[in-house]
Amino acid sequence: MCCSKDSGEPANLRVIARYTCDSTMSLERVFHHCFKPLDGIERCDPVTSLLSVSISNSATPSQKYSHRLGKGEVVVKHGDVQEARWRGPKDPRPQLQLEFLEEPEDSLDSSYKYMFQSLRDIRNVLTEKMEELGECLRSHFNIEEFSPVSLPAQDSITVLGQVCCDGNGKLNAQSLLLEAGPAQGAQRVPVNLSELSEYSLFPGQVLVMEGMNTTGNKLMASKVYEGVPLPFYTSDVEVDADAEPLNVLVACGPYTPSDSLTFDPLLDLISVITRDRPDVCLLLGPFVDSKHEQIEKMQVTETFEAIFNRCIKSIVDGTKSVGCRLVFVPSQRDVHHHFVYPQPPFTLPNLSEDQRVTLAPDPCTMLINGVTVGVTSTDILFHLGAEEIISVVSYFIFGFTLKFKFCVCSYYPLYPPVDDVNMDYEKFQSFGRMPFTPDVLIVPSELRYFVKDVEGCVCINPGRLTKGQVGGTYSRMLIQPCSAPSEDGRRVSPCLAAQVVKI
């Protein structure tokens, strides 16, 4: 396809035409979209060059996203939001400390070899977890010893085990089994839950049950000993009572509508960052979503890595004037990244020397000026909600689910995991555990956004920046470590206020 110099076409269009076989009309659509100004921003600006993702045929902006309603509307509030100041200072804070809670040798900071683990290795990890949690429960509830689950007894017995299902279907009250560890005989026994007034159980949950098993073939459970929540981390950072709270913004991908690979939602988020000037931005994947329709159909003409690198560069360059710290957390839906859990951080050699950028694994626990923040981009709420059985329907179900996360010391307590999660159990034993109950827990999910205080931890589901073809939500919070308890002796949460806002 050839274009003469006298054709009157722009130079960029003539260059594209020489190296493609698309029709002139398609080229004009691509050119017109990639280089026209939108909202007063020149698309040729390198900061917003991510909008020109090269897509075969055309890259048409999402009409539903551009016509969305409720922009900037606050949909969830938590804490003292009346006195909250959501606009940060003009100059970045020089004393901001952001680090991982784990020691460097205990942090997942690079990729590792996976796709090989024996059943024996998996069994050893599960057994170690069961024995560790069992000992914690035994000492906390003053239990003398655990009985074998399948041993016939005329008196009430106390057993330790892991919840599992008798088949490949969904767990229910009739299919529930309790599997003991090697120390208690490694047997399975069906459990009757009819005498329990309330419970919340899921596959992989380690618990202690009390009940009768007169025949050795079924345990009539009369009591369930819940796990013991982990303690909170005690920071040695000196607290300045007069210091302003830190403003933290949290957003989770996808950053494109489902009907277009243009990053308009991400550009709107960058505009929010430059307007509100937060101190820290936690940005969770997916950045290049493997479930995007055009990604699945391979309707892109450049590599996934190239799209991702352009996306990250645009975020870094677009927020340079703000000076905020940027934390990038990968997702199992990032098409170009390692599809394994725990997931190593992104590899971005060009940003390795940038002091503003922190590349975090999934999951991770961070310290931000002495406040512990737990982060995972894996949708454990949705996975657990699909598998758990719960008796108290009116209870805040997420509260049950999140409470167990603190009790089982794990960011992903479900076993077996869902098909979308490729678990490496040896690495999970080292890098997937929750060392303390965090002050703030970020758990993005396909489920409805929320902010909820669970056992003293403020749990936030910021939602996703896009929901299908329309705009989604992000979250923001004000955090400040507290040096003293409240008047009634209760612990004061470092999360002073939090909101979920429509993009």
DSSP letter for each residue of 305-334: HHHHHHHHHHHHHHTTTTT-EEEEE--TTB
pLDDT at 24: 42
Q: Positive or negative CA dihedral for 15, 19, 21, 22?
A: negative
Q: pLDDT tens across 220-256, in order?
A: 999 998 778 888 998 776 767 677 899 999 999 999 9
Quick one: residue 277, left, alpha or beta (phi over 0 = left, psi -120 to 50 = alpha)?
Answer: left
> Burial level of 407, CB count in 10 A (0-12/13-18/19+)?
buried
Q: Which residue has the tokens 């555990």?
A: 433
Q: Looking at residue 166, what is its pLDDT?
A: 87
The CATH number assigned to the domain holding 358 equals 3.60.21.60
Residue 86, domain member (yes or no):
yes
Task: Answer yes or no: is 287 within a domain.
Answer: yes
Mean pLDDT of 105-130: 89
**At 57, is the pLDDT very low, low, confident or very high (cuts 50, 70, 90)?**
very low
Contact 471, 488 (CB under 8 A): no
Q: Dihedral, CA atoms, 191, 197, 201, 206, nearest 10 degrees?
A: -70
Take residue 170 and report the two structure tokens written for it: 């969904």
| 43 assigned to some structural domain | yes
Residue 63 above 90 pLDDT? no
The last residue of one of the domains, among 225, 244, 275, is 225
What 8-state DSSP symbol labels residue 4? Answer: -
Residue 401 lies in a domain: no
3-class secondary-structure state, position 399: helix
pLDDT bucket at 42, cuts 50 / 70 / 90: very low
| Residues 14 and 93 occupy one common structural domain | no
> How does residue 396 score in pLDDT terms, banded at 50, 70 and 90?
low
DSSP-assigned states of every residue in 24-68: HHHHHHHHHHHHS-BTTB-TTSGGGGGGG--BSS--PPPHHHHT-
Once rounded to an integer, what is the mean pLDDT over residues 445-449? Answer: 93
Amino acid 27: pLDDT: 40
As a whole number, mean pLDDT of residues 396-422 equals 77
84 vs 196, residue with greater confidence: 196
pLDDT on residue 18: 56
Instruction: Indicate if 341 and 272 belong to the same structural domain.
Output: yes
Query: Does residue 266 contact residue 314 with C-beta atoms inside 8 Å?
Result: yes
Give percent helix, percent strand, percent coil of the chain, each to the nearest 5: 25, 25, 50
Span 40-61, average pLDDT: 47
pLDDT reported for residue 479? 94
Q: Which residues pair with 393 in a beta bridge?
A: none
Asked if the structure places residue 35 within a domain, the reply is yes
Per-residue pLDDT tens over the stretch 175-189: 999 999 888 888 999
Looking at 225, 253, 282, the residue that finishes a domain is 225
What local confidence, expressed as pLDDT, does residue 90 receive?
A: 81
Q: Is 30 in the same domain as 179?
A: no
Q: How far apart are CA 208 and CA 158, in angstroms?
A: 7
169 & 264 share domain = no
CATH code for position 149: 2.40.50.140
Whether the per-residue pLDDT at 492 is higher than 90: the answer is no
| Percent of the chain scoring above 90 in pLDDT | 51
Tell me the average pLDDT across 128-141: 91
Phi, psi angle pair for 123, to nearest 5°: -60, -40
116 contacts: CB under 8 Å, gap ≥ 6: none
Under 8 Å between Cβ of 246 and 479: yes
- Interval 275-330: pLDDT, tens: 999 999 999 999 999 999 989 988 888 899 999 999 999 999 999 999 999 999 99
193-to-150, 190, 209, 447 alpha-carbon distances in Å: 17, 10, 11, 28
Q: Are both 211 and 345 inside the same structural domain?
A: no
- Mean pLDDT of the chain, nearest integer: 84
The total domain count for the chain is: 3
Query: In this model, does residue 375 exceed pLDDT 70?
Result: yes
Pick from 128, 155, 159: nearest CA to 145: 159
Residue 13 has pLDDT above 90, yes or no: no
Query: Residue holding tokens 């919840």?
Result: 163
- In angstroms, the CA 169 to CA 165 distance is 8
Q: Which residues pair with 300 in a beta bridge?
A: 55
Could you tell me the pLDDT band of residue 456, with boundaries at 50, 70 and 90?
Answer: confident
Q: Does residue 268 lie in a domain region?
A: yes
Sheet holding 450-454, edge to edge: 98-100, 364-368, 371-375, 440-442, 457-461, 450-454
Where does 141-237 have alpha helices with state H? Answer: none
pLDDT at 474 over 60: yes
Q: Measured on CA atoms in the order 17, 23, 24, 29, is the torsion positive or negative?
A: negative
Same domain, 129 and 197: yes
Q: Which of 141-145, 404-408, 458-462 has the highest mean pLDDT?
A: 458-462
| 22 vs 328, higher pLDDT | 328
- Percent of the chain having pLDDT more than 70? 82
Decide if 410 is inside a domain. Answer: no
Instruction: Report the C-alpha gap between 389 and 393 in whole angstroms.
Output: 10
Residue 394 pLDDT > 70, yes or no?
no
Q: What is the pLDDT, as a whole number, of residue 103?
A: 76
Find, among 23, 55, 50, the residue nearest to 38 by Cα. Answer: 50
| β-strand partners of 410 | 433
Structure tokens at 491: 């612990």
Residues 478 and 358 in one domain: yes
91 plus 37 within the same structural domain: no
Residue 138 and residue 155 in one domain: yes
Distance CA 493, CA 454 (A): 11
Cα 9 from Cα 14, distance rounded (Å): 7
Selection from 421, 409, 419, 426 nearest residue 108 by Cα:
426
Burial readout 41-56 (b: 16 or more C-beta within 10 A, e: otherwise): eebeeebbbbbbbebe
Q: Are 182 and 129 a contacting pair, CB within 8 Å? A: no
Residue 19 pLDDT exceeds 90: no
Report, as an integer, the average pLDDT of 92-107.
82
In a domain, 192, yes or no: yes
Q: Does residue 470 register a pLDDT over 50?
A: yes
Residue 24 sits in which domain range? 9-55
Region of poorest pLDDT, from 55-69, 216-230, 266-280: 55-69
pLDDT of residue 257: 92
pLDDT confidence of residue 26 = 43
Q: Both 179 and 266 in a single domain? A: no
Lowest mean per-residue pLDDT among 210-224, 225-239, 478-492: 478-492
Q: How far is CA 463 from CA 332, 396, 472, in A?
A: 17, 18, 7
Query: Out of 35-49, 208-222, 343-357, 396-410, which region has the weakest mean confidence (pLDDT)?
Result: 35-49
Which residues, 6+ apart, have CB-to-CB distance to 94 below 8 Å? none
| β-strand partners of 495 | 479
Q: Are residues 268 and 367 in the same domain?
A: yes
Question: How much is the pLDDT for 405?
Answer: 62
Q: Which one-letter DSSP state was computed for residue 209?
A: E
What is the pairing mode between strands 450-454 and 457-461? antiparallel
Q: Is the pLDDT assigned to residue 121 strictly greater than 60? A: yes
pLDDT of residue 8: 53
